Amino acid sequence: MCVRRGPRAADRGRRVSGPLTLARALYLLFAVAAGGRSLVQWLDAPGRAPLAYALSTLAFCCYLAGYVATSPRRAGRRRRLIGVLAGIELAGVLVVGTLSLAAPGLLADTTVWSAYGAGYAFVPLLIPVVLLGWLHRSRVAPSAAPALARSA
């Protein structure tokens, strides 16, 4: 009996790689961590540092969206979305990290992205950098795209 493997089975291994799998696991972990942190902050003292708590909530949303976007079944088709989300996340980490160091009183409390994610071993800074590097390394060269389309 011969088992025929279609293009979906052949492409499945190419869509997901080590860095993407690691990023997906970290997105899940950080979605839980940032979501829990945000929830506790809002419930504990909602008026004490609303900007910091809103930024923790934004971090939760970014991590949750990153987890969904890096699904193994959809990662190959969502490269642009993954890139946009990683860019937003990186911008958030850089802006909040800089603000937390330059004007510590502005936020009045720490966030997931404070001091560039120092409270989380700088992983919030590394996730988008690794993802953007993976996207850049694994992209299809424009000259190779027509040849790939013809062979399919």
Q: Read off the pLDDT of residues 66-100 as tens digits, 9 standing for 90 and up.
A: 999 988 876 677 888 999 999 999 999 999 999 99
Question: Nearest to residue 92, comparing CAs of 119, 134, 54, 130?
Answer: 54
Split into its structural domains, the chain has a count of 1
Identify the domain containing residue 72 by its residue range: 17-138
Residue 7 located in a structural domain: no
Cα 129 to Cα 55, 69, 83, 86, 137: the distances in Å are: 20, 16, 10, 8, 12
User: Which amino acid is it at 98?
Assistant: T
What mean pLDDT is reported for the chain? Answer: 83
- More reliable by pLDDT, 94 or 141: 94
If pLDDT is split at 50, 70 and 90, which confidence band does 140 have? Answer: low
If pLDDT is split at 50, 70 and 90, which confidence band does 59 have? Answer: very high
Q: Can you give the pLDDT at residue 46?
A: 85
Q: Is the pLDDT of residue 148 over 80?
A: no
Residue 149 located in a structural domain: no
Q: What is the pLDDT of residues 98-118, one digit of tens each?
A: 999 999 889 888 999 999 999
Q: Can you give the pLDDT at residue 92?
A: 96
Residue 148 located in a structural domain: no
Q: Is the pLDDT of residue 31 over 80?
A: yes
